Amino acid sequence: CGEYQSLLKSDDAGAKYTYAEDLYNQAQEENSKKKYRKALRLFEQIVPQYRGKPQGEKLSFLFANTYYQLGDYYLSSYEFERFQQSYPNSDKVEEAAYKKARSFYELSPRYDLDQTDTNKAIAELQAYLNTYPEGEHAEEANDMAAELRIKLEKKAYEIAKQYHLTGEARAGNYQAAITSFTNFLSNNPGSPFREDAHYYRFDSAYQLAVNSFRDLMEERLVEALEYSQEYKKYYPEGEYSEAVEASAEDIKSRLQNF
């Protein structure tokens, strides 16, 4: 380790380069985070010095990839981006594009937190797929993009569903649920949450109607009935068919009073 320590302190960029590359190769073979970390410390020191020099291209890529291997996706996405911009003609540029997108994918948080990184990941994955439709990682990129889109759909769905859940306690939340589910349904064709969204939209409208003042009730019952028909149209034998049917009957009998 003495050699490594003295290298860290020395000014010999060339020696650092060789040693760091060595460490990087070993780390790759042994899949050793420790070695990646050691290589990284050297890379950090020499990357600025080699910027613009012939070795810079390779070094930049190794540097970015080290962050990537260490799971520091925030920095790897940034370094891959820089690599892409600095060396657009490099033959590593496809891998860099993929790994940049992948970095954002890894940064994407659970569905109920801010989805800025998810949106970035989807955009980057799409950019990768557009540039390299036959690329090495096209299939994975497709899968990741699909997964992230479902995450965004889940977010929108859960927010709408919370309005439904809190409808009883907070005035106006059933109305908010109806609007949110309607937006959800028109924005997300083919989402796995569609059936639930249809059902909860109907149920929100139904709950809103039956808890209304009399002069608002008829209009709202009719609206709810329309949603029940829509559910039945798309899901004639759906998970919630029975519940929808029962509520629809109730609506019809209530409508007799008007």
Partner 1 sequence: CSLIFSISSQAQGLPLADGKKYIIGDIKVTGTVSFNEQTVIAYTGLKKGEEIYIPGDKISSVINKLWDIDQFSDINFYITQVRDGNIADLEIEIQEVPKLNKVQVTGLKKREKEEIIKENKLRTGAKVSENLITTTRNYIENKYRKEGYFNASAKISTSEVTDTTANTNLVNMLVDIDQGDRVKIADINFSGNEKFSNWKLKRAMKNTKQKNFFRFWKRSKFVRADYQEDKENLIDKYKESGYRDARIVTDSLVEVDDKTIALNLKVEEGDQYYIGNIDYLGNSVYTDAQLQRALGINKGDVYNGVLLDERIADETKPDGEDLSNLYKNNGYLFSTINLVETNVYNDTIDFEIRIVEGKEAYFNNISVTGNDKTKDHVIYRELRTKPGQKYSQEDVVNTVRELGQLGFFDAEQLEPKFVDPDPQAGTLDLEYSVVEAGASQIELQGGYGGGGFIGTLGLSFNNFSLSGIFDKEAYKPVPMGDGQTLSLRAQASTFYQTYSLSFQEPWLGGKKPVSLQTSFSYTRQFLFDYINRQADRSRSFDILGINVGLAKRLTVPDPYMTVSHSVGFQRYNLNNYNTGLFTFGDGHSNNFTYTFGLTRDNTYVNPIFPMGGSKFKLTAKFTPPYSLWNGVDYANLAEQREYQLEDDNGNLIDQQGNRVTPENAVGDQRLIDQKKFNWLEFYKVKFSGEWFTQIYDKLVLRTNAEYGFLGAYNSDRGVPPFERFFLGGDGLGAFSLDGRETVQLRGYPNQSVVPLDRPAGVNDDGATIYNKYSLELRYPITLKPSASIYALTFLEAGASYDNFRDFNPFQVNRSAGAGLRIFMPAFGLLGIDFGYGFDPIGGQPGANGWETHFIIGQQF
Interface residue list for partner 1 (CB under 8 A):
52-54, 56, 89, 109, 112-114, 116, 155, 158-159, 162-163, 165-166, 168-170, 172-173, 175-176, 178-180, 183
Closest CB 38 distance from partner 1, rounded Å: 26
Closest CB 30 distance from partner 1, rounded Å: 25
> Between 1 and 171, whose beta carbon lies closer to partner 1?
171
Tell me the Ramachandran region of residue 108: left when phi exceeds 0, alpha when psi lies from -120 to 50, beta otherwise. Answer: beta
Closest CB 150 distance from partner 1, rounded Å: 16
> Between 16 and 161, whose beta carbon lies closer to partner 1?
161
List C-alpha distances in Å: 234 to 8, 30, 224, 225: 66, 54, 16, 15
> Between 23 and 129, whose beta carbon lies closer to partner 1?
129
In angstroms, rounded to a whole number, what is the distance separating the alpha carbons of residues 51 and 59? 9
Say how many C-beta atoms besides its own lie within 10 A of residue 252's C-beta. 12
Tell me the Ramachandran region of residue 188: left when phi exceeds 0, alpha when psi lies from -120 to 50, beta otherwise. Answer: beta
Nearest to 60 by CA among 33, 87, 32, 24: 87
> Between 39 and 111, whose beta carbon lies closer to partner 1?
111
